[in-house]
Amino acid sequence: MHFCSGVDTLVLLEDDEAHARLAAAQAQVDFRKRVRNDQAALTRARKTQDEVADGEKAVIDAQFAVDRAVVAWRTGTGSHDDLEQSRAALLAARDRLLQRRHELHNLEPDLPSPTQVDAQLTIARADLAVVEAAIDKMTIRAPIDGTVLQVTAKQGELAFPAATEALVIIGDLSTLRVRTEVEERDIANIEVDQSVAIRASAFDGREFMGKVASIAPLVKSGKGGARGPRNLTDINIAEVMVDVIESGPLMVGMQADVFFRADKP
């Protein structure tokens, strides 16, 4: 297990066809740009407009470089210095882009009316942005700061959108929670912030303190056994989340019993 920060790269999916489309879209932008330069005067405003477009691509390229550097560092094929250099390059590219956008904003009154070749270049750049966005979606980044609990994907394997097994499982271990079910007839006896005792079979005789974090607003059919002489088909339950106050040796995935104390908040 290792810690990951939000937006850190977890998995890079490769698609040769997508990268071929990227190369074709970039070639079309370069061609349309040359045609425009041959037919229209390259004013300061147009030059700055080009610099903004180039800056946007530079940011995307720098982000790709960071993603690959993160993966290389974690797999031991790259150094931490390489990762830090790529991150610094990304920050510098973003700063340059912001500066160019500010300059373009000031020059907007001087921009000439778009010609046909201008429009063709704009369309080519839009097509390039669509391909870049599609490739960016193949980079799976951490949505939160947390710890990587399990990695099921291996280099070279195929991944499918409809796969039932997650490629990577991460979690925030700063606060553990227990998910439990309460029968419908007992819901009235439970409130948010109510104290609970948690017992795990791995630590026989030891109790861990917790409190009710939330009670689901939906009652549904239960899957577990009932308390008392009732059929399984008769059970309706509500899901209750419990915050563990001091998790101690408790681990993610353990089964535990939850005992609700009578002293409500």
Given CA atoms 171, 203, 255, 191 in this order, what sign does their dihedral have? negative
**113-132 residues labelled b (16+ CB within 10 A) or e (exposed):** eeeebbebbbebbebbbebb
Q: Inform me whether the pLDDT recorded for 248 exceeds 60.
A: yes
Which H/E stretch holds residue 147? strand 146-151
Q: How many CB atoms lie within 10 A of CB 85?
A: 14
Given CA atoms 192, 195, 200, 201 in this order, what sign does their dihedral have? negative
CATH architecture assigned to 8-138: Orthogonal Bundle (1.10)
CB of 182 closer than 8 Å to CB of 190 = yes
Q: What residues have CB less than 8 Å from 226, skipping those under 6 apart?
A: 183, 232, 234, 235
pLDDT digits (tens, 9 = 90+) for 96-120: 999 999 999 998 887 778 889 989 9
pLDDT classification of 262: cutoffs 50, 70, 90 = confident
The CATH superfamily label for domain 177-260 reads Efflux pump adaptor protein, beta barrel domain (2.40.30.170)
pLDDT on residue 96: 96
Question: pTM surpassing 0.85?
Answer: no
Nearest to 236 by CA among 217, 218, 220: 220
Cα 250 from Cα 258, distance rounded (Å)? 14
Q: What number of H helices and E strands is found in the chain?
A: 4, 10
Cα 264 from Cα 195, distance rounded (Å)? 7
What is the residue extent of each domain of the chain?
8-138, 177-260
pLDDT on residue 53: 93
Task: Please state, for a pLDDT cut of 70, what percent of the chain lies above it.
Answer: 91
| Pairing state between β 208-221 and 236-244 | antiparallel
Is 8-138's fold the same as 177-260's? no
pLDDT classification of 43: cutoffs 50, 70, 90 = confident
Cα 49 from Cα 30, distance rounded (Å)? 14
- Which is more confidently placed, 175 or 265? 175
